[in-house]
Amino acid sequence: MRHGNHTFKVGRTGSHRRAMIANMLKSLIEEGRISTTVVKAKELRRHADRMITLAKKNTLSSKRNAIAQLKIYFNPLTSKEARAVKKGDIDAYAKDRMVLDKLFGELRERFTARNGGYTRIIRTGDRIGDSAPTCFIEYVQ
């Protein structure tokens, strides 16, 4: 019997699925709302809620777990990039660093009093080309 066994394959390899979920998570954290298919949104909701739970813990291990889940690679800044950061040029940092700052800053503060259900899925109809059901997934205000 396969009670409680959840599978999310959508015709992709394991590495492709993990990369897809990590990229969708980064986009969701950065933008607050993304458009995707319903199947991907339901899987993304599981991971997005876990990210908020990690952010609410706000420990070193939770930050490391979030970095691993989001597949963030911290390359050291070159001297040119470091000078740009000192001048206040925000674009010198990779978007990944800003995503992590937003997760452990703004989103953690927004959901401190909430015990779960951090995302909502709003169905938008079927896609033109292949008639796949599409939706918006967003963080609850």
SS3 of 19-39: the string is HHHHHHHHHHHHHCEEEEEHH
Q: CA-to-CA distance for 72 and 136, rounded, in angstroms?
A: 24
* DSSP structure string for 96-117: HHHHHHHIIIIIHHHTTT--S-
Domains, the chain, in order of start with CATH, read 14-139 (3.90.1030.10)
- Positive or negative, the CA dihedral 88, 107, 122, 10 is positive
Structure tokens at 17: 């699925």
pTM: 0.85
pLDDT of residue 29: 96
pLDDT in tens, the chain (141 residues): 889 888 888 999 999 999 999 999 999 999 999 999 999 999 999 999 999 999 999 999 999 999 999 998 777 778 887 888 788 776 656 678 889 999 999 999 999 999 999 999 999 999 999 999 999 999 998
